[in-house]
Structure 1
């Protein structure tokens, strides 16, 4: 159920205490010369929608701008600073709790959001407001991602290209796939991104001139469908697991005597 499509009387009848919501979060940032800036939030929204339709839980509106200053050199990239992002997500999650939703899955598709969402979840758990956990789609199926693509990349590579190929194929600039590969960084381990154990970069452009990593030419519609369906299935299972938990299981444990 998509929350924003309902009227308040309809929601008043359907929202109950101890209920679950999925919250899609992504970014509006560069994804190489071949993918739209909307890539991350399109992925998050599509997966959250699929899980909500399968399980019947609430899906909230999508958070479309995230923590993306490391892509700022590329035109069009938008970002918010980490403290403001954390406070915003925490605030609307407390709002959901007011309406009876005490379990939340942050359906995340942007790496820059991960640590901040986990911190928000910790705060909400610590004071007993709600149990909110961060879920990053590609981290739920790492073996499949590695099996499908020979040269992965953490950003604007084959896995994200595959997801948009499945979700919104008209938005993939297929004539720029080779440009993305040849003008970007195919193999992160071959760069000087890490020297003597230290990470040497702060921004994506420090490693990739066009913002792409990996080889997106290795994508087919069949691989794209398999990737999306596998991630959606993992999210459905997570939602069902969370929905089956008793509230007492999820509250903070007491001090050890």
Structure 2
């Protein structure tokens, strides 16, 4: 069920009988020369829509702009400052609590949002408003991601390319995949980004001239479909697990 497509009287039965909502979040930021700036929020929205359709749980409108200042040097990237993002998401989520929702899954597809969504979830749980948890699609299926791609990357790489090839193929510049690989950082290793235990860079452009990492030529729509179906299964299982939990078990424990 998509909240914004319903009239308010038609939502009465949902809020009377259900207590879970899916909130998709992403970003509007550069994803190299081959992918749209909408990549992250299109992926988040796709997963939230599929899980909502399969489970019947409520899906909210998508939060399209996230914490992305580390991509600001590339044309069109949009971002909000981290404290603003946290306050906005918290207020947005409190709206749901007002209507009777007491558990929320942040269906997230942007790494820059993760720590801030965790902080918002802690705030709301500590105040016993509701229980909110962050879900990141690739973290739910790490073995499959590793199996499908020889040279993966955390941003604009083959896994995100494959998903957009599956979800919105008309937005992918397939003729630029080799340029994306050759102008980026195809042999990404997280350890190479650190110096003596310190993360010494702040912006994507410090490491990659065109904003992407990994080998985009390794992506196909078929691989994207595999990723999408497997991660959707995980999200559905998370929805069902969370729906089954007694609310009091989700709240902070008493002092030891």
TM-score (norm 1): 0.97
Q: Which position in structure 2 is the counterpart of 1:68? A: 68
- Report how far residue 197 of structure 1 moved: 1.6
The SS at the match of 2:106 is strand
Contact kept in structure 2, 1:50 and 1:232, CA below 8 Å: yes
Cα 1:197/1:245, change in 2 over 3 Å? same
**1:149-204 CA-partner distances (Å, limit 9, x unpaired):** 00000100000001101100110000000000000001223985211121121000
Q: Which position in structure 2 is the counterpart of 1:116? A: 116
Contact kept in structure 1, 2:163 and 2:221, CA below 8 Å: no
Unaligned ranges ≥5, structure 2: none
Q: Distance in 2 between matches of 1:23 and 1:16?
A: 19
Q: Distance in 2 between matches of 1:250 and 1:76?
A: 40
Q: Which position in structure 1 is the counterpart of 2:226? A: 226
- Report how far residue 13 of structure 1 moved: 2.6
Cα 1:87/1:192, change in 2 over 3 Å? same
Residue 208 of structure 2 corresponds to residue 208 of structure 1: yes
Contact kept in structure 2, 1:16 and 1:101, CA below 8 Å: no
Residue 236 of structure 2 corresponds to residue 236 of structure 1: yes
Q: Which position in structure 1 is the counterpart of 2:9? A: 9
Q: Calculate the aligned-residue CA RMSD, in Å.
A: 1.2
Q: Which position in structure 2 is the counterpart of 1:53? A: 53
Cα 1:164/1:17, change in 2 over 3 Å? same
- Report how far residue 143 of structure 1 moved: 0.6
Counterparts of residues 100-139 of structure 1 (less than 5 Å): 100-139=100-139
Moved more, 52-61 or 217-226: 217-226
Unaligned ranges ≥5, structure 1: none
Q: Which position in structure 2 is the counterpart of 1:39? A: 39
Give the number of equivalent residue pairs: 256
Contact kept in structure 1, 2:52 and 2:59, CA below 8 Å: yes
Residue 169 of structure 2 corresponds to residue 181 of structure 1: no
Q: Distance in 2 between matches of 1:221 and 1:88?
A: 34
